[in-house]
Structure 1
Amino acid sequence: MSDSVATIVYLLMATAFLLLAGWKASALRREPAPTLALMVANFVVAAAVYVIASPLGYTAVGSAFGQAWITTLPIYVGILVNFGLVQLLTIIWTSPSQDPHRVRKAVIGWSLLYTLAIAVMTVAFLHADLTGPAVPLKFNTEQPDEPPVLFFLGVFLTMLTCGTLHTWHRARRAKPDDERIAHALHWFGRSMAVTFGYVVCSAPAIVAASRGYHQLDAVGVFGSVFGVVGCIGICYAMSGAAVSVWLRERRDIRVLEPLWDLVVAGVDPDLELSKSARPSRLLNVRLNLHRRIIEILDGILKLRLWVTADAAGAVETMHSESLNDEALREKLGLAETGLTAQELEAAVTSAVLRHAVGRLQDARTRSTEASGPTPPSDGLAYVMPGQDTAADEERPRLLRVARALELPIVQASLETLQTVAPEAAPASRADAHSR
């Protein structure tokens, strides 16, 4: 890989880390937490390391300080800080039931150990007599004949070994209840095990080079691949679950749009908490999703006076008939066993809402009163299913209702109501006349 291509790749990696740092920083502003602060620091350090480690950055820093190899020091310190922050995150996440004082002591203890190691490494590096042109990735095998450099590398690999194996061990045993933390720890363990491959490759290459044997130099250079893969794995550990959640929230906003159009835009646009045409599905996605759910629930509440049992009865009757009528079942696209209890409830709710909105809009068309149509006298006579749903279950319930809006069984049930109503009217007038 040429220096120019390597520089582009490294700078792209740095840009990705900075974007993730900004994303986590916005979450930190909304919900301040030590773990989020550690993640932001980790991504910022990773971005800095990739910028400096790029051929362009490596050469620029060396030229600025008049020492070609000086760039190696901030790179190795950054790597140690990066993996040290992951270790601290693992300690915090794997100790939820322990005494907070003990967790604090462990975090402080490891932090002091890393600080001491970095200080010793810095002193050793600055006391080394580094000569020759600097070649990125070959410092370990080009300069180990210098005792301070050998000591520097020994401290670095020792701390990296302790950090990676300790994190792997803790992450492997942890069984957290939180799905996102479980995802992060799972990938922390994998990534640290992969990163230890860097130590396995580098240690023998360094020892051999320090004795004048360079047959293992390529093995030492190859060890950097394990470090890069481990770093990418850690990045995914801290962002993968959050990205998955973000994608699901974006999808849920999109899925809820038809239901929102029905019970908010079609009932009372003033129910909107914000007058923006559509909520952003890039920024503040969770906030916008919660806002949509609240607006939908408000719209359903406002419809309660226009709700009747007619649509619910039509859906339930058609569903019962389809269980004994294969042709009808195929027409409605139902399985042999019909809808599950949750699916039937969602279909009933969507039919009831569509019917209620239709009644309301029809009344508005015929109303001459400035204050709007008067609700029918049978309002509140029927209670829609799902009214006692727990708050944390509203989102999946509304998603099921939104997906059921255009189901064939819902559409067919509403069509029967439209067909029956006019035919029932003459009989009703005849009954009224006879009375």
Structure 2
Amino acid sequence: METALLTAVNLIIAVASLGLGTVKLLAARQHREWTLWLTASVLIFAGLIFLLATPLVYRFVGEMLHSANICALLVPAATLTCVAHAHALSQLWQPERREPAVLRRTAARWAPVYGGAIAAMTVLYVHADLGPATPLRFAAAYAHVPEVTALHAVYWTTLIVTVVVTVRECRSVSIPGRPELVENVRNVLGWFALALGLDLVNVALTAGAMLGSATGPRRLDGLAESAWLATIASCIAAQIALASLALRSRREEHRDMRALQPLHDLVIDETTDHRMILAPRLPLWTGFTTGADLNDLMAEINDGTGRLSPWWNPMPALAVDRLAQEQQDEPADGSNTWGGHWDLTAAHAAATLLHAARARSRGLPHLPPELRLARLPGTDIEPTDERQHLVRVARHLAHPLVSAAVTLTEETQAATRAN
């Protein structure tokens, strides 16, 4: 196999991984989300693995650190670190395993495994009697050195155990309360599991090269280089998994932004609330700031909702309950149904906000504090559910039952004022 070809491929993958990792790192600094930090880490370490395995860089680093084959230690150490972060990422992708107590138990159980393996490999490398640099062929070239054999035994054992555990966890993913996402996430994790599984192919090929070099009449350097193809395929599969996840997340963010826009337009009065509206970002950065734009939109909605609080009237929510109950009493023949997906809490909030916005636009006076709602329906939800709740509220603004409830409330108030 041509070393020049592997060099070119390594550099391309290294640059791509480091570039994507840097983008994710910038996003993580803005959002402060652990999944983004770990995704960035996986990409950056993957880039470093391919960079250090490139023959030119391999020899350069060896000369700089006065240890010709130091990259033969750095590459498996970086690989275990990358797998450790991928292991943690697989935990965070599953809501039932994101609990702090569960994460602490997982870290306490696995950190000594990864850390101990890297420490043991370092000690074995330091004590090994090694010669000239042998990029991509280290395992086969020094198969006769006991410390090198032991180093690879520690590395492979740790890698096999951790990869098998991580792949099993990827296959058992579940998302309580979000069954519609399970299939999509499993597709992403399938690519992720394939990437980890291909690392085991590298182990098998490298072990074959070492065995042949130690016992056979000639070194199997070509097989050792071929093992690197499995690592290349593994990186490509991991990139597909992470890119698929990012694209899916971006599509969902765009979808939710479109859904939230009517709610934003309702609660924001641009004639008086112009200071609340954040300045748009430069077009150059819009491709990388979808999540930030969504957060800004939600922040503006929450601010605008608060400014409507003087007109929060309990009557629209009561009217929603009344009409919903009447609808349940109608014959279920499909002719009198309101249609659409229904969420009572979101409907209460939508009706309250729609009525409040209309009252403000008509210049109606503020409700006395004792007659207004103390808080908007749905404000007691978990912070992680806020986005989905606001989307549901936005979608209920045009629901026929919500519109009818607001109209009924306004007619009742008009009749009361007339009397």
Match of 2:388 in 1: 396
Question: Is the 2:121–2:151 Cα contact (8 Å) retained in structure 1?
Answer: no
Alignment of 1:276-315 (within 5 A): 276=280, 282-283=287-288, 289-309=294-314, 311-315=316-320
Q: Distance in 1 between matches of 2:173 and 2:158?
A: 21
Alignment of 1:6-405 (within 5 A): 10-26=10-26, 29=29, 43-51=43-51, 58=55, 73=69, 76-86=72-82, 89=85, 96-97=104-105, 108-119=115-126, 124-126=130-132, 139=137, 144=140, 154=149, 157-168=152-163, 171=166, 191-208=195-212, 211-212=216-217, 222-232=226-236, 248-249=252-253, 251-265=255-269, 268-270=272-274, 272=276, 274-276=278-280, 282-283=287-288, 289-309=294-314, 311-323=316-328, 324-325=330-331, 326=333, 328-329=335-336, 332-334=338-340, 340=342, 343-363=343-363, 374-375=365-366, 380-381=371-372, 386=377, 389-392=380-383, 393-405=385-397
Question: Is the 2:18–2:47 Cα contact (8 Å) retained in structure 1?
Answer: yes
Q: Bigger shift: 353-362 or 402-411?
A: 402-411
Can you list the C-alpha shifts for 1:154-197, whole angstroms capped at 9, x where unaligned? 35632431231232365478799999xx9999988765443122
Question: Is the 1:125–1:148 Cα contact (8 Å) retained in structure 2?
Answer: no
Residue 73 of structure 1: CA displacement? Answer: 4.4
Aligned letter for 1:333?
G
- Flag the 1:188–1:165 CA change in 2: closer, same or farther, 3 A: farther
- Flag the 1:268–1:327 CA change in 2: closer, same or farther, 3 A: farther
Question: Is the 1:117–1:159 Cα contact (8 Å) retained in structure 2?
Answer: no
Aligned letter for 2:388?
P
- Flag the 1:256–1:16 CA change in 2: closer, same or farther, 3 A: farther
Aligned letter for 1:329?
N
Q: Distance in 2 between matches of 1:19 and 1:410?
A: 48
Aligned letter for 1:375?
H
- Flag the 1:253–1:78 CA change in 2: closer, same or farther, 3 A: farther
Question: Is the 2:191–2:237 Cα contact (8 Å) retained in structure 1?
Answer: yes
Aligned letter for 1:82?
A
Question: Is the 2:167–2:196 Cα contact (8 Å) retained in structure 1?
Answer: no
Question: Secondary structure at the residue paired with 2:371?
Answer: coil
Q: Distance in 2 between matches of 1:36 and 1:309?
A: 41
Can you list the C-alpha shifts for 1:60-113, whole angstroms capped at 9, x where unaligned? 559989x9xxxx94664443122221355459988723896x977666533322
Question: Is the 1:87–1:167 Cα contact (8 Å) retained in structure 2?
Answer: yes
Question: Is the 2:49–2:78 Cα contact (8 Å) retained in structure 1?
Answer: no
Q: Distance in 1 between matches of 2:286 and 2:131?
A: 49
Q: Distance in 1 between matches of 2:401 and 2:309?
A: 23
- Flag the 1:394–1:327 CA change in 2: closer, same or farther, 3 A: same
Look at both structures and tell me which one has the larger radius of gyration over its CA atoms. 1
Q: Distance in 1 between matches of 2:8 and 2:400?
A: 53
Unaligned runs of 5+ in 1: 131-135, 364-372
Question: Is the 2:117–2:155 Cα contact (8 Å) retained in structure 1?
Answer: no
Question: Is the 1:171–1:188 Cα contact (8 Å) retained in structure 2?
Answer: no
Question: Is the 2:114–2:158 Cα contact (8 Å) retained in structure 1?
Answer: no
Residue 203 of structure 1: CA displacement? Answer: 2.3
- Flag the 1:41–1:151 CA change in 2: closer, same or farther, 3 A: farther
Aligned letter for 1:298?
D
Can you list the C-alpha shifts for 1:336-366, whole angstroms capped at 9, x where unaligned? xxx65xx133223223322221221122xxx
Q: Distance in 2 between matches of 1:79 and 1:268?
A: 59
Question: Secondary structure at the residue paired with 1:96?
Answer: helix
Using the aligned pairs only, state the percent identity.
21
Q: Distance in 1 between matches of 2:199 and 2:20?
A: 21
Q: Distance in 2 between matches of 1:10 and 1:159?
A: 25
Match of 2:99 in 1: none
Q: Distance in 2 between matches of 1:313 and 1:36?
A: 42
- Flag the 1:151–1:165 CA change in 2: closer, same or farther, 3 A: same
Aligned letter for 2:119?
L
- Flag the 1:147–1:397 CA change in 2: closer, same or farther, 3 A: closer
Question: Is the 1:263–1:299 Cα contact (8 Å) retained in structure 2?
Answer: yes
Q: Distance in 2 between matches of 1:414 and 1:33?
A: 39
TM-score (norm 2): 0.66
Match of 2:95 in 1: none
Q: Distance in 2 between matches of 1:297 and 1:61?
A: 52
Q: Distance in 1 between matches of 2:163 and 2:305?
A: 50
RMSD: 5.4
Question: Secondary structure at the residue paired with 1:212?
Answer: coil
